[in-house]
Chain A
Amino acid sequence: MKRLVLILMLLASPVLAVQPDEVLDDPALEERARDISAELRCLVCRNESIDESNAELARDLRLLVRERLVAGDSNAEVIDYVVDRYGEYVLLNPRATGANILLYAAGPAMLLVALGIGGVYLRRRRQATESPAEALSEDERTRLEEIMKS
Chain B
Amino acid sequence: MVAELGHFALIVAALIAVVQAVVPMIGAHKRWYGWMELAVPAASAQFFLTLISFGALTWAFVTSDFSVQLVVTNSHSAKPMLYKITGVWGNHEGSMLLWVLILALFGAMAAWFGGNLPPQLKARALSVQALIAVAFFAFIIFTSNPFLRTAMPPMDGQDLNPLLQDPGLAFHPPFLYLGYVGLSMSFSFAVAALIEGRVDAAWARWVRPWTLAAWVFLTIGIALGSWWAYYELGWGGFWFWDPVENASFMPWLIAAALLHSAIVVEKRESLKSWTILLAILAFGFSLIGAFIVRSGIITSVHAFANDPTRGVYLLGITAFFMGGALTLFAARAGAMEAKGVFSTVSRESALVLNNILLSVSALVVFFGTIWPLVAEMAFDRKLSVGAPFFNMAFTPFMVALAMVLPIGAMMPWKRGRFDRVMRPLWGVMALSVALGALVWTLQTGKSALAPVGVALAAWLVLGAGADLWQRARAGHVPARESLRRLVRLPRADWGKSIAHAGLGITMFGVATLMAWEVEDIRVAREGDTFEVGNYAITFDRVEEVQGPNYLSTMGFFTARRDGEAVATLTPEKRIYPVAGMPTTEAAIHQSLARDLYVVIGDPQDGGGYAVRTYIKPFANWIWLGSIIMAIGGFFSLSDRRYRVAAGARKATSANGAVPAE
Chain A interfacial positions (CB closer than 8 Å to B): 4, 7-8, 11, 13-21, 23, 38-39, 41, 45-49, 52, 87-94, 98-100, 103-104, 106-107, 110-111, 114-115, 118, 121-123, 125-126, 128-131, 139, 143, 146-147, 150
Contact = CB atoms under 8 A, between A and B. Distances in A.
B360 A99 contact: no
Given A23-B521, A99-B381, A103-B367, A93 B352 contact: no
Contacts of B341: 125-126, 128-130
B582 A106 contact: no
Given A20-B523, A47-B240, A111-B360, A93 B386 contact: yes
Given A88-B382, A99-B378, A118 B353 contact: yes
Contact of B610 (A11, A20, A41, A99): A20
Given A103-B368, A122-B352, 19 more contacts: A8-B577, A15-B602, A16-B601, A16-B612, A20-B523, A38-B387, A49-B387, A52-B235, A52-B240, A87-B382, A88-B381, A89-B383, A100-B383, A103-B385, A111-B356, A114-B359, A125-B340, A125-B342, A129-B341
A150 to B, nearest CB: 6
B364 A47 contact: no
Nearest to A133: B339
Contacts of B551: 4, 8
A115 B356 contact: yes
A55 to B, nearest CB: 12
11 contacts: A13-B582, A21-B523, A93-B389, A94-B371, A94-B385, A98-B379, A118-B352, A128-B341, A129-B341, A131-B339, A143-B118
Contacts of B368: 103
A89 B601 CA distance: 30
A103 B599 contact: no
Contact of B384 (A13, A94, A139): A94
B371 A11 contact: no
A52 B601 CA distance: 14
B388 A39 contact: yes
Interface core residue of A39, A91, A122 (most chain B CB under 10 Å): A122
B242 interface: yes
Contact of A46 (B299, B340, B371): B299
A126 B383 contact: no
A30 B300 CA distance: 28
A126 B343 CA distance: 5
Interface string B541-581: 00000000001000000000000000000000001010011
A88 B375 CA distance: 12
A99 B377 CA distance: 12
A123 B346 CA distance: 12
Nearest to B356: A114
B286 interface: no
B582 A11 contact: yes
Interface of B: 118, 234-235, 237, 240, 242-243, 270, 299-301, 303, 337-344, 348-349, 352-353, 356, 359-360, 363-364, 367-368, 371, 375, 378-379, 381-389, 392-393, 397, 521-523, 551, 575, 577, 580-582, 584, 599, 601-602, 604, 610-612, 651-652
A99 to B, nearest CB: 4
Contact of B651 (A15, A17, A47, A150): A150
A69 B593 CA distance: 36
A143 B389 CA distance: 56
A39 to B, nearest CB: 5
A38 B42 CA distance: 53
A136 B301 CA distance: 55
B378 A46 contact: no
B327 to A, nearest CB: 21
A89 B339 CA distance: 51
A131 B337 contact: yes
Nearest to B600: A16
Given A111-B356, A125-B270, A20 B384 contact: no
A100 B386 CA distance: 14
B69 to A, nearest CB: 24
B300 A92 contact: no
A129 B340 CA distance: 8
A94 B522 CA distance: 33
Given A110-B360, A125-B348, A126-B343, A19 B577 contact: no
A47 B242 contact: yes
Contacts of A104: 393
Contacts of B604: 20-21
Contacts of B343: 126
Contacts of B301: 45-48
Contact of A106 (B364, B378, B584): B364
A85 to B, nearest CB: 15
B514 to A, nearest CB: 11
Contact of A52 (B237, B299, B378, B385): B237
A16 B599 contact: yes
Nearest to A48: B301
Contacts of B353: 118
Contacts of B577: 4, 7-8
Given A8-B575, A94-B384, A150 B582 contact: no
A92 B379 CA distance: 18
Contacts of B392: 93
B575 A128 contact: no
Contacts of B338: 125, 128
Contact of B352 (A52, A121, A150): A121
A19 B523 CA distance: 9
A130 to B, nearest CB: 5
Given A114-B359, A118-B353, A122-B344, A20 B383 contact: no
B521 A18 contact: yes
Contacts of A129: 341
Given A88-B382, A114-B360, A47 B299 contact: yes
Contact of A16 (B363, B375, B389, B610): B610
The 5 closest A-B pairs by CB, nearest first: A92-B386, A93-B388, A99-B379, A107-B364, A114-B356
A100 B382 CA distance: 11
Given A41-B384, A52-B235, A93-B392, A46 B300 contact: yes
B360 A90 contact: no
A13 B551 CA distance: 13
Given A15-B602, A47-B299, A20 B234 contact: no
Nearest to B301: A46
